């Protein structure tokens, strides 16, 4: 039993993988809490697609995929924030236009590179076991910066997330806060793509936050629970991947989903069993 936990750490590539999934889980848990509170799940999906052209260009030019994805995501996020100011267009409409265009551009760029099929598969489904030392450092630095910014702007983000009109009335810069949130979602997704892939990265951003939402009503507690669940899902999925020789990204997401289902059923106040018990108690009290 002890070997199950210790053996993977004897391999350098597994050590790097553990560090990246741990950092990704923590960062996505924290950022994902704000995403869930603001109902921005679709934005997370859009950003996951919008980073594709940057990663594709970086792959063709043989530069950092992480930096390429961040640049592309930030450009798309800025475009969405600007074009959404036109009140004739809803935000989700603008997002749909830009993320589809970005993903199409990425496919065109990637098709110019020889052997792009394997690289495209790696991007879509993750390649956490092939992460290098430079990527670990990049993820660590980007993750630390994200957590610092989140802490500095926590009150502002919460105010905008709960009531945009109140935030606007007290003079908060809604546009710049939205842009900052888009940028932070972009960076958190880019640093997590190598762990779970473009298709599954939204789950790492949303599912731990959804679990935390079921477990507590306090935002501060949510922001502690969500990263713990994200980190646990990443580490557990990676262990299972090593033990059974299965896809790491898929197992990380399935682990997070299993935790979500457990929370949905057993959460103390908002779980299925708790709600049924409360209703049964209410019926008994109403009919003594």
pLDDT in tens, 247-273: 888 899 999 999 999 999 999 888 888
Kindly state whether residue 46 falls inside one of the protein's structural domains: yes
19: confidence class by pLDDT, cuts 50, 70, 90: very high
Say if residue 118's pLDDT is above 70.
Answer: no
> Does some domain include residue 243?
no
Task: Residue 60: name the closest of 102, 119, 134 by CA.
Answer: 119
Question: How confident is the model over 67-81, as a mean pLDDT?
Answer: 81
Tens digits of residue pLDDT in 76-103:
778 777 777 666 666 667 777 777 788 7
Helices 174-196, 65-83: inter-axial angle, 10-degree rounding: 150
Q: How far is CA 15 from the centre of its chain?
A: 22
Task: Let me know if residue 59 belongs to a domain.
Answer: yes
Distance, CA of 134 to CA of 65 (rounded, Å): 11
Q: What is the pTM of this model?
A: 0.83
Question: How many domains does the chain fold into?
Answer: 1
Q: Is the residue at 161 inside a domain? A: yes
Domain containing 157: what range? 2-201
pLDDT at 73 over 90: no
CATH number at 48 reads 1.10.3470.10
Cβ distance 50 to 100 under 8 Å?
no
Is residue 128 within 8 A of residue 238, CB to CB? The reply is: yes
Q: Classify residue 43: in a domain, yes or no.
A: yes
The pLDDT value recorded for residue 178 is: 83
Question: Which pLDDT does position 282 carry in this prediction?
Answer: 60
In 3-state terms, what secondary structure has residue 272?
A: helix
Residue 228 lies in a domain: no
Is residue 80 one of the residues assigned to a domain?
yes
pLDDT of residue 227: 96
237 in any annotated domain:
no
């Amino acid at each position: 039993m002890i070997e199950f936990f210790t053996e993977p750490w004897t391999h350098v590539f597994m050590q790097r993988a553990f560090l990246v999934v741990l950092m990704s889980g923590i960062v996505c848990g924290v950022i994902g809490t704000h995403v869930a509170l603001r109902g921005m799940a679709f934005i997370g999906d859009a950003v996951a697609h919008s980073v594709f052209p940057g990663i594709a260009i970086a792959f063709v030019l043989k530069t950092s995929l992480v930096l390429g994805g961040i640049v592309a995501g930030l450009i798309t996020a800025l475009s969405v924030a600007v074009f959404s100011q036109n009140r004739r267009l809803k935000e989700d409409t603008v997002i749909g236009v830009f993320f589809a265009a970005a993903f199409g551009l990425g496919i065109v760029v990637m098709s110019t590179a020889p052997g792009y099929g394997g690289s495209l598969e790696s991007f879509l489904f993750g390649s956490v076991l092939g992460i290098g030392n430079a990527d670990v450092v990049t993820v660590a630095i980007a993750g630390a910066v994200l957590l610092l910014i989140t802490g500095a702007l926590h009150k502002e983000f919460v105010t905008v997330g709960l009531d945009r009109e109140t935030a606007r009335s007290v003079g908060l810069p809604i546009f710049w806060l939205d842009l900052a949130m888009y940028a932070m979602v972009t960076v958190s997704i880019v640093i997590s793509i190598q762990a779970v892939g473009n298709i599954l990265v939204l789950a790492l951003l949303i599912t731990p936050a959804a679990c935390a939402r079921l477990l507590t009503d306090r935002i501060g507690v949510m922001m502690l629970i969500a990263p713990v669940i994200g980190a646990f899902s990443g580490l557990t999925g990676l262990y299972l991947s090593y033990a059974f020789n299965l896809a790491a990204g898929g197992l990380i997401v399935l682990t997070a989903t299993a935790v979500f289902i457990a929370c949905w059923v057993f959460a103390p106040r908002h779980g299925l069993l708790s709600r049924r018990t409360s209703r049964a108690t209410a019926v008994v009290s109403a009919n003594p």
